[in-house]
Amino acid sequence: MNMGKKGLIEYLESTQGFRSMQLRRAFDEIDRRDFVRGEYFDDAYGDYPLPIGFGQTISQPATVLFMVSLLDPRPGEKILDIGSGSGWTTALLATAIGDTGQVFGIEIVPDLVEFGRSNLAKYHLPQAKILPAGETIGFPQKAPFDKILVSASAHELPEGLLAQLKLGGRLVLPIENSVWKIDKVSETKINREEFPGFAFVPLR
């Protein structure tokens, strides 16, 4: 069902709610239609994933809201968005943290780096950048991060990402068919919470 932008926001509000005013504003201001391929414009407000090419998708809005709500982006934070794809999550996060924060989107497919950048350019979000993925998972050059969001499924928790989190930082990622919220309590202790029942493209 394609509800239109207002209908999608109302649907998300009634089924999940918005954890903060910043998240509500982000979903209001950032139009999903600006981040889908032209042949899917008519489906832009449906609550389902859509192909963006190269075996990748723009995620289902309900899943994005769920994961971003778990991440709980706050104004001024520095956030890493792994698997930025079409740039939608990068734009949502950048809007939620405001112009005093920073968001770095990382994407492994070169054509999607360009697609994401062109979509991001439709908005004035100087605090957001999309960059090609390097040899090492994450973006160690800009670590540590307050928060890290991963939008592709890993087989296990990538230890390299934990090392890029600040103490007190949070990582939200899919492992197999569950979304996990990982809080870095100290250098030797993490708290984990699992939310099963999801499907994602694999992390590469």
Closest by alpha carbon to 97, among 80, 114, 121? 80
* Long-range contacts (CB closer than 8 Å, 24 or more residues apart) made by 10-17: 11/47, 12/61, 12/62, 12/65, 15/62, 16/62, 16/65, 16/66, 16/69
* Long-range contacts (CB closer than 8 Å, 24 or more residues apart) made by 185-193: 190/162
Active site annotation includes 20: no
Q: Write down the catalytic residue from 14, 20, 59, 151.
A: 59
Rg (CA), the chain: 16
CA 56/CA 83 separation, integer angstroms: 9
SS3 (DSSP) at 165: strand
CA 94/CA 172 separation, integer angstroms: 16
Positions marked active-site? 59
